[in-house]
Chains A and B, each alone.
Chain A
Amino acid sequence: MATSTAAPAAPATRIGRAAFEVDDRLIVAGPLRRTLNKVFPDHWSFLLGEIALYCFVILLLSGTYLTFFFDATMQEVIYEGGYAPLRGVEMSAAYESTLALSFDVRGGLLIRQIHHWAALLFVAAIVVHLLRIFFTGAFRRPRESNWLIGVGLLVLALLMGVTGYTLPDDLLSGTGLRIISAILLSIPVVGTWVHWAVFNGDFVGMDIIGRFYIVHVLILPAIVLGLIAVHLLVLVKQKHTQFPGAGRTEHNVVGNRLFPTFAGKATALFFIVFGVCAALGGLVQINPVWLWGPYNPAQVSAGSQPDWYIGFLDGSTRLFPAWDINLPGGYVIPALFWPTVVIAGAMFTVLALYPMIERKLTGDTASHHLLQRPRDVPVRTSIGAMALSFYIVLWISGGNDLIADKFDISLNAMTWFGRIGMILIPPIVYVLTYRICLGLERHDREVLEHGIETGVIRRLPSGEFIEVHQPLGPVDEHGHGQLAYGGASVPKKMNQVGGARRAIKGFFSPVEEPAAVQAEAEHEARGLEATEAARRELTGSGRPSEGGRPSEGGRPQEPRD
């Protein structure tokens, strides 16, 4: 028994003693060790969600800075600041303070542009992360809850974007606000009531900037922060998915421990994301509000564009035909209601419910922790590609006036392209994607059966020319490979199975001894250097794999193993 023996010796070092004092009070050593030991899969696509997370951190930091200078009121003032062309112009205090923090605050413009760029990147990272989750089947049981939270976060990110975009009260944001007002009015039955509740009266009133401000800087960020916390807790609890490969099963995670490898890489990614945002914020001008001027309901600039993530809604609104529905009693459902509220609502609802829909249709209710390659699930991949093509047609149509202008195409023709394209293109994309998936699947099977094309042409005694194929595993009496497809990438080039030696490191001159590299490779029994004598029980990753290396009849492995 522990208590019967001598007490543990006190830590010798200063840090050790400090750590002991902390743990004696808080008892954190156990949970901390469990956290540090958590294993993260080592694949680039798992970093996409992290990029979104880091963008959010950057948004919080830069946004807090902006609040020091921004005045969210619509009181009319006369501009007397540093930007000469607007001096003497009547404008709202919100617009005036935006100009002030751009021109009269040292570094204010940089932070404002970092904030805007980080917002664009935030939504982009969420969308790409969502696509990765979708196409690899990572949303399947037991991860439906995190999928729902993720879709919720996407919607909230869009709302944060819309409310933030409105705050400067320049001509562009005011035009966006006018369209928001029209969308609220278009809701059947309660539209005018909703509008009056949001705007505190008719458009535009004196309250909307102040209200959007508190929604943008407090309510939405608080909800997003809470949801991110739940998203990550569920992730830690359920552990990561992983791509199939040697030693990877439904019951484990293979990768790096959090400390120090993963923590180092994740911190590095944060700095790089921040660096990219800062460089964009400094070098690439975004939303130069001083050029648009203050909002005036009677003015608009041609080619007005929302931020990229709202473009699809702008597109659907442009494409939808002029179909008011007149009801008896003089009531009307405005045409604007369908492309903005109904189409957007339907898109996000189907997106949110997709895991449940797929579970119902396929009857697959089992838990999955191994990811699927998109080609192995052609129906889902094709549905995803179809939805994406629909989205892209809408998105392009959101800028159809710019395309018409730059390429000298008729604007009406662009509208008709969008109207027809949004119906015709998705099914075509579905069929194409389906065929491509099948083609890729078949090629995998072909390589498994016939081996890798070596590029070596041999002439047989009969005069026939054949290309020599390198089998990936044992072959039967007909020379056909006996390996089954394991859901992982199949090597298709000789170099991926050790057809070439590893390059000697060193840029100007070698920093390694070629002989030492050779000896190391022989020791590890890799590629060309592998000899019969060097056969081992373990694969390169050191773990007994299912059947050993491909040449021994095991499952194919990722090249890096």
Chain B
Amino acid sequence: MSTTDHQRPGSAGGSDEAGPAHGGPDEDHTPEQLAAMDRVERDRLGARYDGVEVLHVEPGPTPGSKLEKQATRLVTFWFLLAALLSLAFLVVYVGSGWFLPDWQWTVGGSAWSAAFTPLTGLFMGLALTSVGIGLVVFVKKLMPHETAVQDKHDGSHFDRVTTSATLLGGLDNSGLRRRKLLTGTLGFMALAFGAMLIAPLGGLIKNPNKGNPLGTTPWAEGIRLVRNDGTPIRPGDQQPGSLETVFPAVTGGNRAADAATMLIRLRPAQLQNLQTPTGQEDFGYGDYVAYSKICTHAGCPVSLYEQETGRILCPCHQSQFQVTEGAKPVFGPATRPLPQLPITVDDEGYFVARSDYIEPVGPTYWNRESI
């Protein structure tokens, strides 16, 4: 049965007949015509419908030629190598601890355990690479080289005009452009609805200004200065010119993010030239001074103390602080001196803090001065 109606899509109307086949140009090429073509012709025909023209085919090596045999041998070699390397990986991975020495590395353990990760990585890497090389050689040496060209199309005026007609038709039918109240309500609803959807994220927000958490540390009056292992320190425990990292003697004091403090014993020469900021003249004790270890730039622990010059270097961004001048920054990106911890000695002769730091330790922030 053949009706001209089938030229028009959707024209089958109420009749229970198949419309034109799924967009393919089946009407132009009968099954007989297609069957009469060879496979290359059918391939090219399909390509033409996709805007592709095969320009030139450089055939692969002639079947049975020396060239083909050599290329086949090469590809076989790489794929075989990949298979063998994969097996080698399996042998090492599965066999370690079974018929090979144990894989688990321990200090002073076997050489095999140290070689386990490098060997598995090497075999896996070489196996994968061999598959890749084999494929490249396959495509390059055994397959025909085809040069094809495909058309590139600009946007179609027809498509633009018809699509916009459909869109504008729908908009007109909705009457939204006339019904101002409805449009306004829709906008209002979208805003309110969107706000409702993101509102639960408000659970993330916490007030950073409650109790001045950035300005306080675990240090307080009478809290002892202790080493990482919790032992207290007396004057005289340190050599002149040395530095020790100390923590407040409270639970978790040695893990607190802002409590780490450097206790420095100055050399006599340094003590003579000591310049202390006004108001902090009595913060030290004898030839001892204590400064926050947390860099005022980005919060890294300033760790590298050069005895000779009395400079402390932060290894993150190389800010340098002069210990004999109130730990003020003398080079690099830091802008503020390291805060000084006021210290004294308690009844038993151990170092204690006289109070918390008098200013926030660590990186600068917006309302640091005003809170």
Cα–Cα distance between A324 and B297 once the two chains are bound (Å): 10
Q: Least Cβ distance of B266 to chain A in Å?
A: 21
- A279–B152 touching, CB < 8 Å: no
A490 at the interface (CB under 8 A from B): no
Cα–Cα distance between A276 and B334 once the two chains are bound (Å): 42
- CB contacts under 8 Å to B, within A65-119, are 82-85, 103-104, 106-107, 109-110, 113-114
Proximity string of chain B (9-39) to chain A, C-beta cutoff 8 Å, 1 when within and 0 when not: 0000000001001111011001110110000
Q: Which of A6-14, A144-152, A385-393, A429-437 contacts B (4 or more CB under 8 A)?
A: A6-14
- B149–A247 touching, CB < 8 Å: yes
Q: Which of B249-257, B271-279, B344-352 contacts A (4 or more CB under 8 A)?
A: B249-257
A210 at the interface (CB under 8 A from B): no
Cα–Cα distance between A115 and B224 once the two chains are bound (Å): 45
Most buried by B among A103, A280, A317: A317
Q: Least Cβ distance of B26 to chain A in Å?
A: 5
- B206–A301 touching, CB < 8 Å: no
Q: Which of A187-195, A221-229, A458-466 contacts B (4 or more CB under 8 A)?
A: A187-195
Interface size class, chain B: 35 or more
Residue of B nearest to A265 (CB): B139
**A300 with B129: in contact, given A178-B299, A193-B208 (CB under 8 Å)?**
no
Residue of A nearest to B260 (CB): A298
> Which of B34, B120, B258 interacts with A282 by CB under 8 Å?
B120
Residue of B nearest to A325 (CB): B335
Residue of A nearest to B31 (CB): A8
- CB contacts under 8 Å to A, within B291-323, are 293-294, 297-301, 303-304, 313, 315-319
- B128–A278 touching, CB < 8 Å: yes
Residue of A nearest to B228 (CB): A298
Residue of A nearest to B105 (CB): A103
A521 at the interface (CB under 8 A from B): no
Q: Least Cβ distance of B328 to chain A in Å?
A: 11
> Which of B22, B32, B106, B316 interacts with A300 by CB under 8 Å?
B316
Size of the chain A interface, CB-CB below 8 angstroms: 126
> Which of B138, B150, B255, B366 interacts with A191 by CB under 8 Å?
B366
- CB contacts under 8 Å to A, within B141-193, are 143, 145-152, 154
Q: Which of B45-53, B235-243, B281-289 contacts A (4 or more CB under 8 A)?
A: B45-53
Cα–Cα distance between A74 and B245 once the two chains are bound (Å): 24
> Which of A1, A9, A82, A369 interacts with B35 by CB under 8 Å?
A9
B205 at the interface (CB under 8 A from A): yes
B220 at the interface (CB under 8 A from A): no
- CB contacts under 8 Å to B, within A256-294, are 256-257, 260-261, 264-265, 267-272, 274-283
Q: Least Cβ distance of A508 to chain B in Å?
A: 10
**15 more CB-based (< 8 A) A-B contacts, given A298-B228, A329-B370:** A30-B24, A107-B93, A201-B206, A202-B258, A203-B257, A247-B55, A251-B151, A261-B139, A278-B121, A297-B256, A298-B260, A322-B334, A332-B369, A511-B67, A511-B70
